[in-house]
Every structure is written in C-alpha cells, then in structure tokens.
Structure 1
C-alpha cells in the first residue's frame, strides 16, 4: 500500500512538473553585440544590459583596454578587449580644470576661444583613437570569423562614438542606438526635421522661444556643430569607411540607417519638436523606486528632523570644485539647519560645518527618493536631472560644461530648478539660490508636476526599451519605420529643384503673356495707323 502511494505521489509530481513546464512562457534569448561609450554613458547602457540579461539574452561587449568603468569580466556579458593608447584621460582632466578656472576667473574671450578649440581637439582625438583601434577587429581574420559565426541578432551601440555603427555595417547587422548625443551634437538633428527657428542647437543655451538675435545665435551654434562633424570628426572615420565598407560610408548616413533610436529623453523634459517613427523615448528608463539607505546613512538623514536633507554631487567626471567655490558653498551649508550630504573628493573645504557629511560616493537614486530630501544641488547631467524629475526633487544647478546648462535650462523654464553659473558662485549668490529653491513652494510643486507627467505613461520606459530591442530581433530590423529621406540630395529634400521648375514655368508664362500682350498692342497700333492713312 505504501509503495502504491509512493508511485501515485510520484505520478502526481511528474504531472504537475509537466504542467508547470507547459505553462512557462518560452524564452527566445537573442545574441546582442554591444559597442558602448565609457563613463556616465556606460552607467546607462549597463542598466539596459542588466534587464536584457534578465530576459535571457546573450550579450557580448566590446571595450577598450583603458576603460574606466567597463570591466573585462562580468556575469552580464562576455567581453572583447581592444588595445588602446593612453593619455586621453589626463588631457580630459586638464581640460576640465582649465575650463572651470576660466569660468571662475572671468577669463577673456580669447581664453574661451582657446578652450573651445581645445575641446574640439579633445573630441577629435577621442574619435581618432577609436578609428585607429577598430582595424584590430577588421584585420584579424579569426576575430571577424568569430563575430560572423556568433550570428548576432543586432548591434546595440551608443553613437557618441561611431565604431559601433561602422562595425554593424561591416557585419550587415540591424542597429539599435542607445542615444541622446551623436558624434557631433544632439541626435534629433541627424534624423528628424530640425528648424533652427525654434529648436535650440546644442550649447546655445536657448529655449524654443527665440527672438531675432537669438535665432542668429542659434544658427551660428548650429554651424559650429556642423563644422565639427564635417571637418573634425568625420575625417577620423573616412579612411576606415573607404577601406573596409564596400562603397564607402558617411557617419551621419550610417546613423540615419539605424533601425531604432532608443532616445534618453522625453517631452516632459525636452522642448516639443518634430520626431520620427523609429525614435522611441525612454527618458528616465534607469529610474526605480528608492531602496532603503544603509543604516548609518539613514541615521544621518533622520537626524535632520523636520528641516530635511540637501544632497550635492557634480557627477562622475568632476571630483571637486575650485577651492574658493567649495569653501564658500561649505560656509553656506554650515549656517543652515538642514543636514547636507556632499559627494566631494580631495581636500575637505576649510569652512565645513558639523551638519555636512562628505562622501566619496552616494546612493543618489535612493537619496533622491527619500522623503527627507528637499533639494538636489547638481551639475545638470542627464542622469541626475531625469532622476530628480522621477522623484520630484527641485534642483539648484551649477552647470560646468557639455550639455549641462541646456539640461538645467529646461528645468528652469518649467519652474522646477534654478541655475547659478560657476563664475557667479559666492557665499551670497549660493545662499540666495539655495534658500529660493528651498522656501519657494513653486519649485517643488512644479517638479512634482513633472514627476506625475513623467510617470503617467502606458508603458514604463525600460519596458519600451526592451520591447523595441526584441522587436528588432524578431523582425530582423525595422526598415519600415525608417525614412529614406537621407538618401535624397539636399536640393531635392528642400524641393529647390521643384521651386526652380515652378519659378521657371511661372516666368515663362509671365513673359509669354507679356509678349503676346505686347504683340497685340503693337498690332492694334499698326491697324490704327493703317486706317488713318
């Protein structure tokens, strides 16, 4: 009897196991080749890779031997390491320090011209390094064979550098871009109609409402971006395209051929503008509900009582502000009843108060989501701005370089943040700015309104990102969503040839009418003269 019961139980167990297996949805894991950009861009890309890995996809990441953040070994992915020259990190650090010093000291226009030239040179050098390194893949027959034999479903790349799209073209694979910035400028300008009459060019510091002088400025900034792409970035890759891509290629054209653009922005943050069907907005996709803080940090936060906490960080690239600015900020914090958590490396400010906790790293997302956090003092990086929107925390911004002023300007225009230029930071201006954001309820109310708008979506941004990556896998691309307008010559795109034809026809018609009218007038005069004689 016991044996029969045992057999019956085993049969039930097998039956239930079969049922569970039958009802488990199949996981068709794809193979993804990833060509990321280091630094804060990788932080975004890694979050996306974690989700793709959790969905059962196999991931291979191409990284530089000098990478700052992209580890060679990871449970998420296999890696391919490309040997790279060193030295760019030091150049970048020197540039940042010089740029901050020039802002702080109110340097001359000549100095800022030199800094702009140095910045373009630095960007050009970065592209040249990657263009010189990519032949390590193309000239290695075993590497190329391995990549082709792997039968990747797509290439996922950040187009702030171009090797990813070139490699995808070489391997004839669909492309998904994890994008906001391209090799020069902002991604929309490469793919969507972008009238500079109301769409601010990167770096212009303008909004979508421009007067005549501002439109002139906007066109000049757009010209600088176009010049940078044409003469400083494009040439780095031209020889590479001519040598390895049949028929050659143009970087902007390769970007325009991409199947899907996962765009790290949305129209809660961005100014309204034309877009395209294959642009999927995933702004804030990295944002999640706050997790509990470490016990010591939670104790410090709770000790703030009713006054709450101010958090401050300048992102991953800047360890510390100039000493004078840091001392003045610290002195303002020291007088406040709030507790302050400040990510700051290097020597502590001499005016540091007992209410300020200096840390090398902070759980930024979890602090922004903590109910005690009142204000976020930040440099205006895309990640921090989107996380502040998600958690509804107003921002006091101190932009330093790149897109940071433009990001903060979008918050300021919506009444959810305030900007203080680094050159203007002193005890008085910083105290006035922090108190304004703290004690004017409109800042928090406006930011919380943006938060509600951002969260009110039919599908979470991360779910959208995963869906469209898998969509490209399932359909071997998405050419039906991609415009072919980029293949048209400029005169056809703007209908200059059509306008010339219509103008010519109108001119011919007008001249013909005049000629006929003149002929009839002359004939009438001749008839009149004949009758008079």
Structure 2
C-alpha cells in the first residue's frame, strides 16, 4: 500500500517533467563594456550559464571589472596597451573635478563650450582606443579563425562602445544588444520614431511636458547629439568599417540599427512613454533582487537608529569623492539629522562629520535599500541605483554629477519620488531642509515611491526571465529579422518622405503656375478682344 501511494504521489511530478521542453545548450559570445555596464552584463552571463549555455567573454588585458577567470564563462583576453579612460578611477576623478569646475560657471556660453569640450574629448579618446582594440583583434587571424570555428549562436554586446557590434558583423552572427545607450546617444533615438515635441533628448534636462522654449532647447540638444556622433564618436569606427568591410559600405550605426534584438534596460515606470519597436524587449531593473541580511556590524548600526531609521548615500562605482568643500557641507547636513547615516566615502574624513554618520569604503547597496529602516537614498542618479530604489520603494535625493544623471533625476522628480540639488551650490541649510522634507512621512515622496515600486513589480514575467527567453529565442531561430524594421536601410530623404513631399509640392506648384499662366493668357485675350472692339 505504501509503495502504491508513493507511485501515485509521483504522477504529478512526472507529468510536470514530461511537459517541460529540454533547452538545447547554446554558444554565446559576449563583448561587454567595463565598469558599471559590466555589472549589468554579468547578471545576464550568469543567468545564461545557469540555463546550461556556454558563454565566452571577450575582454581586454586592461579590464578592471571583467575577471579573466570565472565559473560562469570562459574568457578570451585581447592585449591592450593602456586602459580606456572611462575604466580608470583616477581619470574619472579628474574628469569629475573638471566637470564640477565647469558647472560652477553654469549659464555662460563659455561654460557650455567647456562642457562640450570636456565631454567630447573624453568620448573621442575612449572611442579611438576601442577602435584600436578592434583592429588588434581583426589583425589577429588566429583569434578570428578560432572565433569563426567556434560556431557561436549569437553575439551579446553593449553598443555604447560598439566593438562587439563590429565583431558580430565580421563573424556574420545574430546580434543582441544589452543597451540603454549607443554611441550616438539614447538607444531609442537610433531605431524608433522620436518626436522632439515630447521625447526629451539627453542632456536637455526636459521632461515629456515641454513649453516652446524647452522644445527649442530639445532640438538644440538633438543637433548636439548628432554632431557628437558624426564628428566625435563615429570617425574611429568608420575607419575600421572602411578598412575591413569596404565592399559592404556599412557604418557602425547601421550595424547597430540592424541588431536582431534590443534588451533595453528601461522600465516605463521610470522612463517617459515614447514610440518603440517590436524587437525591443524592456528589461529595466533586471539587476534588482530581494535584499539579504546585512553583516552583523552593519545590522547593529542600522538597528541603533531606532524609530528614526537610516539614510544611505553612495555615488556609485566610479565616483568616490566630491572634494573637501562639498564633502564638509554634506557631512554638516547629515550631522543635523536624527537619523543614522551610512555613507560610502573614499576621500578624507570630513572634519564636520557627526556621531550619527558611518563612513564605509563599500556598502551592500541593494541589501541596505531593502532594509525596512532605510528612509532615504542619497545618490548621484546612476541608473542601477535608481532602479534598486524603485524596486525597494525608497525615496531619493539626487545630487547628479555627470552624463545622464541629470536627466535620470528629472524623471524621478517628475514622478514625485525625489528632489534634486545642484552639487556646486549645495548649502548646509538647504540640504538639511530637503532631506527633512523627504523624510517627512506626511509629504508624498515615500507613498509615491511605494506606488512606483508596486507598478514596477506588477508584471507577468520578471525582466531577467524575459531577457533569457528572448536570448534563447534568437538562438533557436538563428536571429529575429522578422521583428526588425528595415527603415535603417533607407536614405534619410526616403525615411522622411522628402522625395514624396518634393514631388507633391512640385506638382502643386506646377498646377499653380499653369493656372496662373492660363489666367494671364485669358486676361490678355480678353483685353485684346475688348481693345479690338473699341477700335
């Protein structure tokens, strides 16, 4: 009898196992971007490994974050003489310092020109170094032969530095992008209709509700983005395309636009609504996960906050210090709070640091944001941190510093879940008051963020599961060309129907001219007849 009941109990399990389709292991070639971008890509790599796929990661010999040895992937290391500037903490500290100096002159034409020069110089240097690395790979015939013979199913890459895009084209493999940014700016602008009347351009600091002046500003930054792509970011890669893909007459942006699938790191609880395309899969927040228990020392500190709770501050992976002047302002403001403060700080200890503030060189950000005693997250506005705050429902005080952080915080403020302060004009009184406002339970920040968090969690499938499904979809079907628009192959005048409009306008003008000429001839004829009658 016991044996019989055991067999009966196993029937549902056996039926479930028989219904599951076995997943064929695929071969994935990954070309990541280092730094915080790798933190996102690594999650996909580990998930692919868990599903049984074989993952190979192309990395440079100067890589800072991408480890050469890992249980989740096999690496191929490409020699590089020196690291990219954006991978160097020392360079980024200098870049940040220079950016803050420029921001202090905000509003003047000279400050704007300095901003553009500082940004374009950094981007140009990095793109040139990436292009040189691609040439090193293409000239290594043994490496390229091995990559071809490996018969990968797809290339997964981040196109902000599009070396992986060029490698995928060289190997003629399906291309999947783990993307929010491309070398020309925000990813959507490369593939989807983007009306500048309500789709804000990067650096514009606009929301999706713009008055006339803001729309004019939006068009200006759109032109600036085109200039950045055309004359700063693209030339190094165009030289590579002309050298190795000459018969195809391709350019890197067309290769990006021709990708089979875009895993877009965006969720519309954060991003403003906008047109999109069928080969875009939204995975915003896929790196977020439930919090784990804190280390004992940190848990004791958090619990010591009592009913007041904790404020957490971090400036991300690359940006450690703001300089002594700004740091002293922040420390003084924190010292006035009844809350305990945990601050990831890499510089010298501020003189005005309060007894309520703990300085750490590293903190478990996700676990702290998921702790019930965390009340506010003070951040530079990096995308990873913002999504973790949304995931755990923690309101934000944004102190944006560089790149897209200003635009990120515009989106958070528009949702009513954050306040934003200019780092170069921080004062103790205003910073303290802003923190107190966000901490005030009677104000809507926390409730708005909880609502945003509920929306973020309320979906039929987790974003990471969705990303893995679509990666496997591309493997199964050798691409996803049926989801990709062919508009990127059109000349600009065809895409915008300029030729059709020119024909219609020309036809209308011709009809108008014929009508006017006919009328003139008719009038002249009538005048002649009238004159002849009078004579």
- The TM-score with structure 1 as length reference comes to 0.93
Matches within 5 A, 1:129-144: 129-144=129-144
Structure 1 match to 2:410: 409
Gaps of 5+ in 1: 1-14
Helix, strand or coil at the partner of 1:441: coil
1:82 equivalent in alignment to 2:83: no
Q: Shift in Å at residue 21 of structure 1?
A: 8.2
Could you give the per-residue CA deviations for residues 67-110 of structure 1, whole angstroms, max 9, x where no partner exists? 11100111111111112232632443321222234435879653
Structure 2 match to 1:5: none
Deviates more, 1:184-193 or 1:111-120: 111-120
Structure 2 match to 1:62: 58
Helix, strand or coil at the partner of 1:252: helix
Q: Shift in Å at residue 529 of structure 1?
A: 5.6
Structure 1 match to 2:509: 507
Residue 148 to residue 426, structure 1, CA distance change in 2 (3 Å): same
Distance 1:226 1:518 in 2: 48
Residue 107 to residue 93, structure 1, CA distance change in 2 (3 Å): farther
2:99–2:118 CA contact under 8 A, matched in 1: no
Q: Shift in Å at residue 38 of structure 1?
A: 0.5
Distance 1:254 1:532 in 2: 77
1:206–1:214 CA contact under 8 A, matched in 2: yes
Matches within 5 A, 1:378-389: 378-389=379-390
Residue 509 to residue 91, structure 1, CA distance change in 2 (3 Å): same
1:100–1:400 CA contact under 8 A, matched in 2: yes
Q: Shift in Å at residue 189 of structure 1?
A: 0.9
- The TM-score with structure 2 as length reference comes to 0.92
Structure 2 match to 1:116: 116
Structure 2 match to 1:332: 333
Helix, strand or coil at the partner of 1:297: helix
Helix, strand or coil at the partner of 2:126: helix
Structure 1 match to 2:497: 495
1:394–1:437 CA contact under 8 A, matched in 2: yes
Residue 328 to residue 514, structure 1, CA distance change in 2 (3 Å): closer
Structure 1 match to 2:23: 27
Could you give the per-residue CA deviations for residues 96-150 of structure 1, whole angstroms, max 9, x where no partner exists? 2222344358796535533431221111111111111112221222211110111
Distance 2:396 2:444 in 1: 12
Structure 2 match to 1:10: none
Structure 2 match to 1:468: 470
Number of equivalent positions: 521
Q: CA RMSD in A?
A: 2.3
Distance 2:142 2:386 in 1: 44
Structure 1 match to 2:43: 47
Q: Shift in Å at residue 523 of structure 1?
A: 4.2
Helix, strand or coil at the partner of 2:214: helix
1:339–1:355 CA contact under 8 A, matched in 2: yes
Helix, strand or coil at the partner of 2:57: strand
Distance 1:208 1:22 in 2: 50
1:297 equivalent in alignment to 2:298: yes
Structure 1 match to 2:344: 343
Matches within 5 A, 1:393-472: 393-439=394-440, 440-472=442-474
Helix, strand or coil at the partner of 1:430: helix
Gaps of 5+ in 2: 1-10
Structure 1 match to 2:192: 192
2:308–2:339 CA contact under 8 A, matched in 1: yes
Deviates more, 1:473-482 or 1:318-327: 318-327
